[in-house]
Structure 1
Amino acid sequence: MADPVRVAVLISGRGSNMLALSEHKRRDPERTYRIELVASNVPEARGLVLAKRLGLRTWAKSHEGMKRAEFDALLDAALEEHGIEIVALAGYMRLLSPGFVDKWEGRILNIHPSLLPLHKGLDTHRRALLAGDEFAGCSVHVVTADLDSGPVVAQARVKILPRDDPESLAQRVLEEEHRLYPLALEEYCRAVRELES
């Protein structure tokens, strides 16, 4: 079997999707990816504590007071140091600089809490409710220079219920994110290895 794809997971908060990606790998070690690094722009992010408990390497630096490209250069150096092949954004609440996205073209995935191309950006659940959508959901997509506009590689739909508010809808969508993202990353990394062979 080919070596697992070396993945970095980027987080800014609680790290629940990072945990889902890690648990997926732990349940079946014969996976196509291995989390080599969990990185964050928020040194006090709760997800970093989780990552350390899981025995994962971490990197953290505050972006405060830094230009976007300057911070991304430090992040890029950390990724290179760990031999990262694929970057998985998992609640990373910071736009990446164009130079960083160009360098990692086709190698950055993101999980977004809407059925793209609907509701790009923030506050997706409230916007879905206000729009009267029948379904909400989540999308895994390839990151490009345009916000939440790259090719979608996987989606999961969640029926919007009459009693839903943004919080209840967010919780049900998050459950789908935790199911979908590991499977999508698995398939994407398998495709990467097949292209190399």
Structure 2
Amino acid sequence: MTRLAVFASGSGTNFQSIAEAIHTGKLDASIALVVCDKKDAIVLQRAQKLGIDTFVFQASDFPSKASYEKVILDELKSRDVEFLVLAGYMRLVGDTLLQEYPGKIVNIHPSLLPSFPGKDAIGQALQASVKVTGVTIHLVDDGMDTGPIIAQEAIVIEKDDNRETVTKAIQTVEHRLYPQTLKNILERQNVSEYH
């Protein structure tokens, strides 16, 4: 059983879908820790309800990314975490974690990368008036949403869609695709094919 840490900054709906997949036996893993950079994020309440340890930090309390990632790394090591899952974590991962977990950090992004990387991908897609967007799961590297793609699924944007309806459609895909993709990755235990 693989020990995961989930990194999140917001409401934690993807964290919840992963936790449910573990609970129902669809995903052979355990969540050893939730790492969060916002002390009032709803994901922390979700983790607390499930009895999952949390580690909360504020980047502004540290002189550098390396300094707070070193503290995060200590938390991960103390819990024997083997794999990192980014689920709405709004910070770029730095060298400290990338070097310690090579090929073992994945992220989910609400667009068909390489289109619309970075913040507000749904807003970017609507602004561009594209007909199709979707969800991407990718390995994390030192760029912004630039790592090798593992899985993608498209959704069609209808004429009368708005931010709310597109967000809902994307989350529906995310909550199914992320646990399924994690299952595939962890069963293989080898993500080198994506490099």
Provide TM-score, normalisation by structure 2.
Answer: 0.92
Deviation above 3 Å: which 4+ runs of structure 1? none
- Distance in 1 between the 2:117 and 2:145 partners? 6
Q: Specify the alignment match of 2:43 in structure 1.
A: 47
Q: Specify the alignment match of 2:55 in structure 1.
A: 59
Q: Specify the alignment match of 2:182 in structure 1.
A: 185
Unpaired runs of at least 5, structure 2: none
Contact preservation (8 Å) 1:108, 1:143: yes
Q: Specify the alignment match of 1:32 in structure 2.
A: 28
The counterpart of 1:72, out of the listed 69, 74, 95, is: 69
Shift of 1:194: 10
Contact preservation (8 Å) 1:126, 1:165: no
- Distance in 1 between the 2:20 and 2:155 partners? 23
Deviations 1:142-189 (A, max 9, x none): 000111011111112111010112232112111111111111111111
- Distance in 1 between the 2:12 and 2:19 partners? 10
Matched residue count: 191
The counterpart of 2:103, out of the listed 106, 117, 124, is: 106
When the two chains are superposed, the root-mean-square deviation of aligned CA atoms in Å is 1.7
The counterpart of 2:141, out of the listed 136, 139, 144, is: 144
Provide TM-score, normalisation by structure 1.
Answer: 0.91
Tell me the SS of whatever aligns to 1:186. helix
Tell me the SS of whatever aligns to 1:114. coil
Q: Specify the alignment match of 2:152 in structure 1.
A: 155
Unpaired runs of at least 5, structure 1: none
Deviations 1:99-148 (A, max 9, x none): 32232220100000001111111121122123232211111100001110
Tell me the SS of whatever aligns to 2:59. coil
- Distance in 2 between the 1:194 and 1:44 partners? 34
